[in-house]
Amino acid sequence: MKKRKAKDEYIIIVGCGRLGSHIANIFSKKKKSIVVIDKKEEAFRRLGVDFSGFTIEADATEEDVLLEAKIDKADIVITVTDDDNTNIMVAQIAKKIFNVPKVIARIFDVKMKEFYEELDISILSPTILSANKFIDIVEQEAKEKL
Amino acid sequence: MNIIMVGGGKKILFLTKSFISKGYNVTVINNDKQFCNKLAKRYNAKIVNGDGTKLYILEDAGIAATDMVLALTPKDQDNLVTCQLASKLFGVKKTLALVNDPRNVEVFDKLGVNTTISTSGIISSLIEQKVFVDQITNLIPLEEGKVAVIELEIHEDYPVVNKSLKEIDIPPQAIISCIVRNGNPIIPGGETKIISKDKVVILTLPEIQSEVLKAIAGRVD
């Protein structure tokens, strides 16, 4: 595979909610090539005025849509819709069918995270992330009191 | 046999009734409480109200002791997850998913769900073929529509009338596998002649179906 500069990385973001749009805006400022997919057009309003990527209004569980987004050329696919199962399905399609090098999915259900992590997909669980942070803070304060 | 079905609508009602009459133990998972109540009143099946892609719901439904899981919701992603959890986590031997987007059949196959039914794919190809080719009296798609069995009646004005099979020039990807003459089936050889009013059963790939029909009927409507 042709090695590209980090700046030229091609990123597909599925789901343009609060998290998806936030990630898209940040990567856009870092001058990366980005395509954002969401099934609702209104969702794209969350993207900043200076957002330089492309948007596709469609259901990402349809293979045609992913091909339109040129998933076969993507370096990173991030799935952050509000539906765990959509994230899981799109992430698996990206990894297993299109061999995307890096695939990251957000999954709310903690038990599902364990199961799907075996499939070579990086999984972020907001519940676990915030729980860990809370515990860190609590333990930190407990230590300081000692 | 223990069967778990996830989904709703008429097909679940129909399948529940049919499976119970065959003596199977049926469990239905559905997230609509009203539907669950209706089903529980009507049939002697175990009903679980909840999301069929959640582990605890599947456990409640007794997935560990089930022989078959049928995922029949209108959302492909949910059907995929249900089947993956069932087969990979709980070791259910047979899983079947309804695939709403016909293009997802291949996707499901590659992701380890091997039995899929694409209703919209099957129905649309059936309708298409029935609408455009009126000579066909019967048509059965096999292997998700990758192979088709078509049955058609030979009219006297067809160019193949009174010709033997070896004289008929049909593409190599199709075969005239059976001739029904006066209600009697004949497995034809190269010398067998086709006569008017015969019904021929042809095994063919769908992409060359119109070529085959052209060779036999002389025209494609």
Same domain, B10 and B57: yes
Q: Is A125 exposed, middle or buried (0-12, 13-18, 19+ CB in 10 A)?
A: buried
H-assigned helices in chain B: 10-21, 33-42, 55-60, 76-84, 104-110, 119-132, 209-217
Q: What is the DSSP string of B39-61?
A: HHHHSS-EEEES-TTSHHHHHHT
Cα–Cα distance for residue pair A117/B23, rounded to 1 Å: 39
Answer whether A84 touches B (CB < 8 Å).
yes
For B84, half-sphere exposure in the C-beta direction (CA atoms, 13 angstrom radius) is: 23
The whole-angstrom distance between residue B173's C-alpha and the CA centroid of its chain comes to 22
Angle at which helix B33-42 crosses helix B10-21, to 10 degrees, equals 30
Same domain, B113 and B163: no
Give me the CATH number covering residue B34.
3.40.50.720
Instruction: Report yes or no on A42 lying in a domain.
Output: yes
Contact B110 A96 (CB under 8 A): yes
Same domain, B13 and B61: yes
CA end-to-end span of chain A: 54
Nearest CB neighbour to A85, from listed B77, B88, B107: B77
Nearest to B204 by CA among B132, B127, B130, B145: B145
Instruction: Report yes or no on A31 lying in a domain.
Output: yes
Is B129 or B167 the better-scoring residue by pLDDT?
A: B167
Full domain range(s) for residue A67: 6-145
Give the least confident one: A63-72, B64-73, B90-99, B208-217.
B208-217
**Closest Cα in chain A, distance from residue B81 (Å):** 6
According to DSSP, the β-strands at B184-186 and B174-181 are antiparallel
Q: How confident is the model at residue B81 (pLDDT cuts 50, 70, 90)?
A: very high
Same domain, B59 and B152: no
Answer whether B31 touches A (CB < 8 Å).
no
Count of domains for chain B: 2
Count of domains for chain A: 1
Domain boundary among B61, B90, B117: B117
Q: Quick one: pLDDT at residue A1?
A: 47
Query: Contact A92/A82 with Cβ under 8 angstroms?
Result: no
CA-based nearest residue in chain A for residue B56: A111
Full domain range(s) for residue B164: 135-217
pLDDT digits (tens, 9 = 90+) for B169-187: 888 888 999 999 988 898 9
Point out which residues pair with B148 in neighbouring strands.
B141, B204
Query: Contact A96/A63 with Cβ under 8 angstroms?
Result: no
Q: How confident is the model at residue A44 (pLDDT cuts 50, 70, 90)?
A: very high
Instruction: Report yes or no on A47 lying in a domain.
Output: yes
Instruction: Report yes or no on B125 lying in a domain.
Output: no
Instruction: Report yes or no on A32 lying in a domain.
Output: yes
Instruction: Report yes or no on B99 lying in a domain.
Output: yes
Please say if the pLDDT value at position A71 is more than 90. yes
Domain boundary among B117, B147, B177: B117
Q: How confident is the model at residue B196 (pLDDT cuts 50, 70, 90)?
A: confident
Same domain, B97 and B7: yes
Same domain, B71 and B155: no
Same domain, B213 and B143: yes
pLDDT digits (tens, 9 = 90+) for B6-40: 999 888 999 999 999 999 999 999 999 999 999 99
Q: Suggest the residue from A64, A89, A118, A120 to mutate for an interface test with chain B (most B CBs closer than 10 A).
A: A89
Instruction: Report yes or no on B129 lying in a domain.
Output: no
Answer whether A109 touches B (CB < 8 Å).
yes
Same domain, B113 and B143: no
According to DSSP, the β-strands at B163-164 and B193-194 are antiparallel
Element (H, E) at A145: helix A126-145
Give me the CATH number covering residue B147.
3.30.70.1450
Please say if the pLDDT value at position B139 is more than 80. no
Give me the CATH number covering residue A50.
3.40.50.720
The whole-angstrom distance between residue A124's C-alpha and the CA centroid of its chain comes to 9
Domain boundary among B87, B117, B147: B117
Instruction: Report yes or no on B212 lying in a domain.
Output: yes
Same domain, B105 and B140: no
Element (H, E) at A23: helix A18-29
Same domain, B69 and B144: no
Instruction: Report yes or no on B34 lying in a domain.
Output: yes
Same domain, B113 and B160: no
Instruction: Report yes or no on A26 lying in a domain.
Output: yes
